[in-house]
Amino acid sequence: MPRLPSVSTSDVKGSGPGGRVEIVDLRSKLKAIRGEVDEKAEEAKPVALVAGIAGVVLVVVLAFVLGRRRGRRKTTWVEIRRL
C-alpha cells in the first residue's frame, strides 16, 4: 500500500474563514474519492466475475475427479465362475 505524504496543519487550506476546513470541504473531497473508487470497482467487475466462474468450475472438476478416484478404490469386484 502506498504511503501517503505527511501533511502538516499549515498545509491544509479550507474554504472557511482563516482557511479553516468546513464540512462542505470534507463532503466534496469524500465525493471525489468515492467517484474514483466507484470507477475502479466498475473496471474490476468483469475480472472478478471471470475469476469467480473459473474458481467454481475448478472446484466442480476437482470434486468430480476426486470422487471418481475414491469410487474406483472402493469398488468391489465379484467374479462368478461356473463349475
* 55/49 Cα distance (integer angstroms): 10
Residue 36 lies in a domain: yes
Rg (CA), the chain: 31
Q: How many angstroms separate the CA atoms of 52 and 31, rounded?
A: 30
The grid cell for 68 is 471418481
Residue span of the structural domain in which 69 resides: 17-74
Q: What is the pTM of this model?
A: 0.46
Question: What is the count of structural domains for the chain?
Answer: 1
Cα(73)–Cα(65) distance, integer angstroms? 13
**Residue-level pLDDT at 73:** 66
Per-residue pLDDT at 17: 79
What is the pLDDT, as a whole number, of residue 51? 95
Residue 81 lies in a domain: no
Q: How far is CA 56 from the centre of its chain?
A: 15
pLDDT, averaged in runs of 10, over the chain (83 residues): 63 76 88 88 90 96 86 71 77
In a domain, 82, yes or no: no
